[in-house]
């Protein structure tokens, strides 16, 4: 079967990262006979400037017909692109690995945490209004259904990892909303095969700094997940290296966690690692759909090539202390793809 | 003038920390002729068990007549004690220093950040309900008035420090609520004497890990402030050492940020540093009210004694790698108070 991918280069460093990464994607397609049909579409600040809409109709038409969205970083219109897409296609599970890479300095040694962030509700619903000139209101929504399905996703990942889940909330203050989330965690995880603990979000933010090795899988609601996943990625080495998957029952979106970094755009020094690791997550996802082992093999080949280039440490980009260009880094990975 | 203080020992390690710290407070009162009238009252889990109310009427009667509340950590009823008191007396500014101490291991060198957390609104209003069996709703409230006064507090502190303020929010997603907060920050801080930047809360959580030295004063709303202040305290060395002040126009509350630590209660090994630093913040506050320099001198004497004991490093408690008892640590500080 052919997998249709809508490719959104995005803004800032997005286009150069995506343009250069295509070379690697082509090699994977060729070496592993992957059946991908990739269509490039416009979205983000540049689309907004050009069409008056950061997600123009022609882009949505392509996305509608695609199985997968692969996107680069988007600028100030990110909310109207990514948060909108997450909700529009109910891509409810935001999967965010925080994993160290060799030769990326960090203060914590080898970090390997998976954050499973609920991706459709909480204050991200966008239900907000002014009650008066002075007073604004935002609505936090937490449902049983969304909590259940995200906790089940966390359970699935934890069973493939170290079988430990930390359920993060603030049910001592938000007794009803976070209380519901906490109750669902307990209902689903008690008696399961994983070790399960609850932790208040403030304590979790401190414990990530104190001892990240105590965490395996963290499951949490949307806002806390946004904050903790950036913190955890930095603890693992650099926010700039963190990939992510947004997975729903009928569509999935893969994207780097970092932003458009306009200040270094066009200089051929951006680091495409987070995008490439997102490509690897995409290939894993296609494997989980298709059960065709070639996708898993291609994902592993890409991951291994990335790890080897980091391990050699000769061709790293300036953000992590190297002096390689984006194109040098891409060539190094290209040459290592088995 | 006499300053009336309601003293709440709290739960877990609270009573032993407070009981032992009294010795130090008495020496300060004597050496500096402080005019304090301290009344001990019950609150927290133990009060709930005894009177069916974590904040019993007799406690509130004393608090009503006091200028200041000095409290130890409270257990699971913390929300009903501290969040209730913050709102009841409109103690709108939660001042949270994250400052390193000598001989407390941390990975970041000397950290000195002040977090100014709005303390009365956001999701902490407690406006929550079930819409249906499946769906819960929480109301986030951000007002212009509360945002203005907290930003003004941050400005006051920044002018006494390194004159830099980072205003933290997530106005790219919460455009109306956090948008209001962001607008107020700009209105008040642009053209002021401080350097001012805005930062999304997820980026702030990562930047605290990446380079805490870039921050001087952080001002933010209630939920983000809760999370970032625990993270920052841990980055400075230990959450267990962080004091805090909750300041309103007519009452103020001083408390350690840490919890009741039931697991080590009654063992004479709890660390009273956060409580003692909160006492120092209280004396500073009385100085700001009274302009009587003796309160400032007493605060400095207490702070210096704490710093010296840490600098010597001989009498530290187990939480930071020492083997001293709570009582040994108290004695060491006592003997150093000038
Ligand atoms: C850009 C922004 C809307 C987005 C979010 O808050 O979800 C980003 O921070 C992320 O984490 O993917
Ligand atoms: C105990 C809890 C209600 C409280 C809060 O969330 O404000 C605490 O975490 C704090 O930061 O003082």
What are the angstrom distances between the C-alpha of A45 and each of A18, A52, A56, A79, B234? 16, 9, 11, 11, 37
Which residue matches tokens 């009803």? A176
- Take residue A182 and report the two structure tokens written for it: 């906490």
Report yes or no: A239 at the B interface, CB cutoff 8 Å. yes
In the predicted model, what is the mean pLDDT of chain B?
A: 97
Q: State the pLDDT confidence band at B58, using cuts at 50, 70 and 90.
A: very high
A177 burial class (0-12, 13-18, 19+ CB within 10 angstroms)?
A: buried
Segment B111-118 shows an average pLDDT of 98
In angstroms, the CA A203 to CA B259 distance is 10
Model confidence pLDDT, tens digit, residues A186-240: 999 999 999 999 999 999 999 999 999 999 999 999 999 999 999 999 999 999 9
Pair B8, B42: CB distance under 8 Å: yes
pLDDT score for A124: 98
CB of B227 shorter than 6 A to ligand 2 = no
pLDDT tens digits for B20-42?
999 999 999 999 999 999 999 99
Q: What percent of chain A has pLDDT over 90?
A: 100
Give the closest of A124, A140, A238 to B138, CB-based: A140
The whole-number average pLDDT for the span B147-161 is 98
Which residue does chain A place closest to B129, by CA atoms?
Answer: A176
For residue A202, indicate whether it is catalytic. Answer: yes
- What's the CA gap between A280 and A298, in Å, rounded? 8
Q: How far is B291 from chain A (nearest CA, A)?
A: 35
Q: What is the pLDDT at residue A219?
A: 99
Band of the pLDDT at A133, cuts 50, 70, 90?
very high
B202 catalytic? Reply is yes
Give tens-digit pLDDT for A35-44.
999 999 999 9
- When pLDDT is cut at 50, 70 and 90, the band that residue A83 belongs to is very high
Instruction: Give B160's contacts (C-beta < 8 A, 6+ positions apart).
Output: none
Report which ligand 1 atom has the smallest distance to the Cα of A82: 3
Q: What is the pLDDT of residue B256?
A: 98
- Chain A residues in contact with B177 (beta carbon < 8 A): 123, 128, 136-138
Q: Can you tell me which atom of ligand 1 is nearest the CA of B173?
A: 3
A285 in catalytic set = no
Q: Which domains does chain B have, with CATH numbers?
A: 1-97+239-338 (3.40.718.10), 106-236 (3.40.718.10)
Distance separating alpha carbons of residues A56 and B226, to the nearest angstrom: 39
Nearest alpha-carbon partner for A257 in A280, A241, A268, A281 = A241
Q: What is the pLDDT of residue A268?
A: 98
Say if B177 is an interface residue toward chain A (CB within 8 Å). yes
How many residues does this entry show for chain A? 338
Question: In the predicted model, what is the mean pLDDT of residues B228-254?
Answer: 97
Tens digits of residue pLDDT in B251-290:
999 999 999 999 999 999 999 999 999 999 999 999 999 9
Task: Kindly report the number of other CB atoms within 10 A of residue A53's CB atom.
Answer: 16
Average pLDDT of chain A is 97
Q: How far is it, in rounded angstroms, from Cα B244 to Cα B111?
A: 16
Question: pTM (2 decimals)?
Answer: 0.97
Catalytic residue, chosen from B80, B178, B216, B226, is B226
pLDDT at A122: 98
For residues B317 and B131, the answer to whether their CB atoms sit within 8 Å is no
Token pair 């704490």 is at which residue? B306
A124 is known as an active-site residue: yes
Cα B275 to ligand 1 centre (Å): 37
Measured from the Cβ of residue A204, the count of other Cβ atoms closer than 10 Å reads 26
pLDDT for residue B55: 97
Query: Which among B141, B170, B205 has the least Cβ separation from residue A137?
Result: B141
Handedness of CA A296, A300, A303, A309 (dihedral sign): negative
pLDDT digits (tens, 9 = 90+) for B171-218: 999 999 999 999 999 999 999 999 999 999 999 999 999 999 999 999
Look at residue B22 in the predicted model and tell me its pLDDT. Answer: 97
Longest pairwise C-alpha distance within chain B: 62
Q: What is the pLDDT of residue B322?
A: 96
Give the per-residue pLDDT at A195: 98
Tokens of B192: 């002021």
User: How would you write chain A as a 3-class SS string?
Assistant: CCEEEEEECCCCCHHHHHHHHHHHHHHHHHHHCCCEEEEECCCCHHHHHHHCCCCCHHHHHHHHHCCEEEECCCCCCHHHHHHHHHHHCCCCEEEEEEECCCCCCCCCCCCEEEEEEECCCEHHHCCEEECCCCEEEEEEEEEHHHHHHHHHHHHHHHHHCCCEEEEEECCCCCCCHHHHHHHHHHHHHCCCCCEEEEEEHHHHHHHHHHCHHHCCEEEECHHHHHHHHHHHHHHHCCHHHCEEEEECCCCEEEEECCCCCHHHCCCCCCCCHHHHHHHHHHHHHHHHHHCCHHHHHHHHHHHHHHHHHHHHCCCCCHHHCCCCCHHHHHHHHHHHCC
Residue A112, min C-alpha distance to chain B (Å): 16
């Amino acid at each position: 079967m052919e997998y249709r991918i809508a490719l959104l280069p995005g803004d800032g460093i997005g286009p150069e990262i995506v343009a250069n990464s295509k070379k690697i994607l082509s090699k994977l397609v060729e070496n592993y006979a992957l059946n991908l049909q990739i269509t490039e579409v416009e979205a983000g600040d540049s689309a907004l400037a050009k069409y008056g809409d950061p997600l123009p109709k022609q882009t949505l038409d392509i996305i509608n017909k695609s199985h997968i969205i692969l996107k680069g970083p988007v600028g100030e219109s990110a909310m109207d692109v990514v948060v909108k897409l997450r909700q529009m296609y109910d891509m409810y599970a935001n999967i965010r690995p925080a994993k160290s890479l060799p030769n990326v300095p960090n203060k914590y040694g080898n970090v390997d945490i998976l954050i499973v962030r609920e991706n459709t509700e909480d204050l991200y619903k966008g239900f907000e209004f002014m009650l008066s000139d002075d007073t604004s209101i935002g609505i936090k929504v937490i449902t049983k259904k969304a909590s259940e399905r995200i906790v089940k996703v966390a359970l699935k990942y934890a069973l493939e990892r170290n079988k430990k889940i930390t359920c993060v909330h603030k049910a001592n203050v938000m007794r009803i909303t976070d209380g519901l989330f906490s109750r669902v965690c307990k209902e689903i995880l008690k008696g399961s095969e994983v070790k399960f603990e609850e932790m208040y979000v403030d304590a979790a933010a401190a414990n990530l700094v104190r001892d990240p090795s105590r965490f395996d899988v963290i499951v949490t609601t949307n806002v806390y997940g946004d904050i903790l996943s950036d913190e955890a990625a930095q603890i693992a080495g650099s926010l700039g290296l963190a990939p992510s998957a947004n997975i729903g029952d009928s569509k999935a979106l893969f994207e780097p966690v970092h932003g458009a970094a306009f200040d270094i755009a066009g200089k051929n020094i951006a680091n495409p690692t987070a995008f490439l690791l997102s490509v690897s997550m995409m290939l894993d996802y296609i494997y989980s759909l298709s059960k065709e082992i070639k996708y898993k093999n291609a994902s592993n080949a890409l991951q291994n090539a990335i790890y080897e280039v980091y391990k050699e440490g000769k061709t790293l980009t300036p953000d992590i202390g190297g002096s390689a260009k984006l194109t040098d880094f891409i060539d190094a990975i290209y040459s290592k793809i088995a």
